Amino acid sequence: MATAGIVLLLTTFLMTEAIAGPRDQARRIHDRLAGVPPSPVVLDTMEDLVAGGQALDAAYLAMENRAFYDVTLKNFAAPWTNREESVFVPLNDYIATVIGMVRDDVPFNTLLSADILYVGDPSLGLPAWSMTNNNHYAAMETQGVNLRDALLQTTQSAMTDLPPGAPAGVMTTRAAAEAFFIAGTNRAMLRFTMMSHICRDLEQVADTSRSPDRIRQDVSRSPGGDSRVFLNNCVSCHAGMDPLSQAFAYYDWDETAGRLVYSPGQVRPKYFLNEDTFPFGFRTPDDRWDNYWREGQNALLGWDMQLPGGGYGAASLGQELGNSLAFAQCQVEKVFRAVCLRPPVDAADRSQVTAMVNSFRSNNFVMRQVFAEAAVFCMGD
Ligand code: HEC
């Protein structure tokens, strides 16, 4: 009898799971994308769309809810903008630019290279936009501004004193500069950009087989008196990282002024810190970068062979990163986690991720499509 009861219970449970019909699926799509329940009217429309085999359209409808922008996308991008990877930071220009690019279907592979910026609508009476503080963005949040409607697209070269060519997508936002150009040696900008947008920290790209010829003077060639440590450890990151982070040679964070500075033709003093550690090391002459990780194990990151693999300045480096397969995979995996509330685990998840990566790359890197596809995949059966 007891067994029969359990079987009955189990059957009922499985049936309830199985009969998650279009209405439940619609509700889940909405919850996952907007984080709030849909209005009855929206739910009805979404249910009809799901029932009619147009679940992607239902997802697009859910993304019209302002909470998709104010909450979901804000929380999605916030951790990329600080070293603690915290979601609890005020709105800033980096986050706003991500939100705007997603809203406007701006090809997301330009995230690290475009001359683009999003600011608040002037009619809102916000504090003036400034290179030296975050008040404009912080006020948007404290005033509960609807980010879906309030963000206007502009360019960094129009809003800042950066000359054309200097802007490099979100890497040259004030928030990124404050977090990653502050002090140090500008290697942090590369490290954190790779963590957030290639989904790999440096341990995961470490490769001792690359030439050490561009490793800067501050890296000891015999740490603790042992050159093997240099060859087996330090080289693995610095051989590839140092020639990439050279792209940022003219950028700095001015702590006193509270702003990004850019000095074309003049390598920042931080590139010569501890130059006496190994005087025969590489001395940065300009902002020439080269990607030593195109060969070796990091060829797996899927670099775009149409691009030259080297150049001058942050924007062309941003193109190199943004057009890699790893960049597209990283965006898709982050969306999958955010929408499905779990990482991809099994074979079905992995093939879904692959399909989404292909769709993302062949359809102009539209992020909303990635969100929609993830929401439909995880809407339940
Ligand atoms: C796993 C990758 C990795 C390895 C291995 C590595 N480094 Fe670094 N190194 C970094 C990163 C990333 C930075 C930039 C840190 C920052 O500014 O946040 C850095 C910065 C530095 C700096 C600049 C000063 C500083 O601390 O920011 C020196 C000097 C340095 N490393 C020396 C070495 C030496 C010597 C070794 C070998 C014993 C070594 N590194 C091994 C990744 C690595």
pLDDT at residue number 20: 76
Of the residues 158, 180, 202, the one at which a domain ends: 180
pLDDT at residue number 12: 47
pTM of the model: 0.95
Alpha-carbon distances, residue 218 vs 203, 221, 272, 281 (angstroms)? 20, 9, 8, 8
Residue 197 DSSP symbol: H
Q: Say whether pLDDT at 381 is over 90.
A: no
pLDDT at residue number 19: 59
DSSP 256-306: TTTEEEE-TT---GGGGTTTTSSTTSB---SSEEE-GGGSGGGGGG---TT
- Token pair of 15 as six digits: 């049936």
- Could you give the CA distance from residue 118 to residue 195 in angstroms, rounded to a whole number? 23
Q: Which amino acid is at 190?
A: L
Averaged pLDDT for residues 341-356:
97
Q: Are 173 and 162 in contact (CB under 8 A)?
A: no
Q: Residue 3 — very low, low, confident or very high, per pLDDT cuts 50/70/90?
A: low
User: 73: helix, coil or strand?
Assistant: helix
Q: Residue 167 — very low, low, confident or very high, per pLDDT cuts 50/70/90?
A: very high
pLDDT at residue number 324: 98
Q: Is residue 4 part of a domain?
A: no
Of the residues 149, 180, 211, the one at which a domain ends: 180
Taking CA atoms only, the protein residue closest to ligand 1 atom 18 is: 188
Question: Which of the listed residues 178, 180, 187 should we mutate to test ligand 1's pocket, taking the one with most ligand atoms within 8 A of CB?
Answer: 187
Residue-wise pLDDT tens digits, 82-100: 999 999 999 999 999 999 9
**Å from CA of 235 to ligand 1 middle:** 10
CB count, 10 Å around CB of 228? Answer: 9
Residue ranges lining ligand 1, Cβ < 6 Å: 184-185, 187-188, 191, 202-203, 206, 218-220, 223, 229, 233-234, 236-238
Question: Which of the listed residues 180, 189, 237, 284 should we mutate to test ligand 1's pocket, taking the one with most ligand atoms within 8 A of CB?
Answer: 237
Taking CA atoms only, the protein residue closest to ligand 1 atom 30 is: 219
Question: Are 206 and 283 members of one domain?
Answer: yes
Q: Is residue 340 part of a domain?
A: no
pLDDT at residue number 1: 44
Taking CA atoms only, the protein residue closest to ligand 1 atom 1 is: 203
Question: Are 135 and 259 members of one domain?
Answer: no
Q: Are 324 and 296 in contact (CB under 8 A)?
A: no
Q: Residue 6 — very low, low, confident or very high, per pLDDT cuts 50/70/90?
A: low
**Å from CA of 88 to ligand 1 middle:** 28
Pairing label, strands 259-262, 310-312? unpaired
Question: Are 154 and 194 members of one domain?
Answer: no
Q: Is residue 15 part of a domain?
A: no
In total, how many domains does the chain have? Answer: 2
What phi, psi does 70 have (nearest 5°)? Answer: -70, -35
- Could you give the CA distance from residue 33 to residue 35 in angstroms, rounded to a whole number? 6
Residue-wise pLDDT tens digits, 29-51: 999 999 999 999 999 999 999 99
Q: Is residue 197 part of a domain?
A: yes
**Å from CA of 271 to ligand 1 middle:** 13
**Å from CA of 237 to ligand 1 middle:** 8
β-partners of residue 261 are 252
Alpha-carbon distances, residue 43 vs 6, 69, 237 (angstroms)? 34, 19, 51
Question: Which of the listed residues 219, 227, 282 should we mutate to test ligand 1's pocket, taking the one with most ligand atoms within 8 A of CB?
Answer: 219
Q: Is residue 236 part of a domain?
A: yes
Rg (CA), the chain: 24
Q: Say whether pLDDT at 333 is over 60.
A: yes
**What residue numbers bound the domain in which 84 lies?**
65-180
pLDDT at residue number 329: 98
Question: Are 221 and 108 members of one domain?
Answer: no
Q: Is residue 26 part of a domain?
A: no
Of the residues 306, 323, 340, the one at which a domain ends: 323
Helices (H), the chain: 2-18, 22-34, 40-51, 55-62, 66-67, 74-77, 93-103, 135-142, 147-150, 156-159, 174-180, 187-197, 227-229, 235-245, 314-322, 325-340, 347-362, 367-377
pLDDT at residue number 13: 47
Q: Is residue 35 part of a domain?
A: no
Q: Is residue 29 part of a domain?
A: no
